[in-house]
Amino acid sequence: MAEQHIRVVLVDDHPVVRAGVRALVDAQGDLDVVGEAADSARALAVVEETRPDVVLMDLSLGEGPGGAETTRLVRAMPSPPQVLVLTTYDTEADVLEAVDAGAAGYLLKDAPPEELFRAIRGTARGETVLAPSVASRLLQRAASPAPKVSPREVEILRLLAKGLGNKEMARELLVSEATVKSHLSHIYTKLGVDTRAGAVATAIERRILRP
């Protein structure tokens, strides 16, 4: 064999998923699962200790820092492993955040095992691996202008979903009511709506807000 075995660490808060990936991956001759972690802190410790080639990262890790933030921390380590995101959702925001955090690939949990194996091997070689649905979604978005809402506007959206009025938001954010209205107008144009209700709906749909 010219190739070394590829060392893999699993990060996922679901024991069932960890067991599944381990069972599938360990059955491959050239892939070894050398560690598991259920949260961000343990993930960093396990990676530090086992020095894997690839980290399979879930994005939702229950309590504490999420998978995107954990990816960033892992990639900040000296001679870091590649990170392959393995998650349930392929939302615009999720993908972009993960890629921005330094992920080398993005795969969905409903992918067939063969695709998972190919993705792990490709990621270990430094390739960028995207699930087909993720790739097409990215291309689709690349065509239409990116609707990126600013941090302040996200703040507004959060209060909006709580049913606050403009006056209340203004008090909460320590600005004038006119400012709040201005932010709202910008949000409307960015999201392609013209009402508070529509803004909340599409913000939730695009995962800018989480229910």
Euclidean distance between CA atoms 46 and 36, whole angstroms? 7
The answer to whether the CB of 134 falls within 8 A of the CB of 90 is yes
Using CB under 7 A as the binding rule, the residues of this chain from 170 to 199 that contact DNA are 173, 175-179, 181-186, 188, 194-196
The count of chain residues that interact with DNA, using the rule CB under 7 A, is 24
Q: Which does 179 bind (CB under 5 to 8 A by kind): DNA, a copy of itself, none?
A: DNA
Choice between 3 and 63, CB closer to a copy of itself: 63
HSE-CB for 140 with a 13 A CA cutoff: 8
Choice between 5 and 167, CB closer to DNA: 167
In the complex, the smallest distance separating the C-beta of residue 100 from a copy of itself, rounded to whole angstroms, is 21
User: Could you give the C-alpha distances from 10 to 16, 17, 40, 119, 151, in angstroms and in order?
Assistant: 12, 9, 11, 14, 32
Using CB under 8 A as the binding rule, the residues of this chain from 91 to 120 that contact a copy of itself are 109-113, 116
The count of chain residues that interact with a copy of itself, using the rule CB under 8 A, is 40
Choice between 5 and 148, CB closer to DNA: 148
What are the residues whose beta carbons fall under 8 Å from the beta carbon of 6, sequence distance 6 or more?
Answer: 30, 31, 32, 53, 54, 120, 121, 124
Contacting positions for DNA (CB under 7 A): 148, 150-153, 165-167, 173, 175-179, 181-186, 188, 194-196
